[in-house]
Structure 1
Amino acid sequence: MVEINVPAWRKSSRCGTSTCVEVAKVDDQYMIRDSKNPEAAALSFTKAEWDAFVEGVTAGEFRF
């Protein structure tokens, strides 16, 4: 029998609509998906990639 890890999708508590991104961690991968289209393929990132992203967000590197 193969054990399957089902993603536990989470979104920000600040998300007041269905137009948010959701994040899940499965094994050593971080996954991101669009909450409006959960059936679509999720993006997958390594821990190093995820850590670099979080560091960039914390440093204010992403502006809208």
Structure 2
Amino acid sequence: MRPLDLTVATWRASSYSNQDGGQCVEVSDDFDAFIPVRDSKNPHGPALAFPAGDWSSFVSAVKGGTLGA
């Protein structure tokens, strides 16, 4: 598998992040198969890349309040 070129990624803060306190999770929607996620306090640090379907399931569980239920 080829590594993702995150230098071309457009990042956005998660709507569930605490944007006022600077503790943001940022995601990029620029890739079809994977969703990269990073810590906004360390934009040049590591990022995690989740398969798009898994990320979608995670976000749905958070929104639905069923995460960990």
Q: Which runs of 5+ in 1 are unaligned?
A: none
Shift in Å, 1:27: 2.0
Aligned positions of 1:1-64 closer than 5 A: 6-12=8-14, 15-28=19-32, 29-62=34-67
Q: CA RMSD in A?
A: 2.2
Deviations 1:3-57 (A, max 9, x none): x671110014661132211111232211110011111111101111111111111
When you count helix as a share of all residues, which structure comes out higher? Answer: 2
Q: Which runs of 5+ in 2 are unaligned?
A: none
TM-score by length of 1: 0.73
Moved beyond 2 Å, runs of 4+: none
Whichever residue aligns with residue 49 of structure 1, its letter is D
How many aligned positions are there?
60
TM-score by length of 2: 0.69
Distance 2:60 2:25 in 1: 18
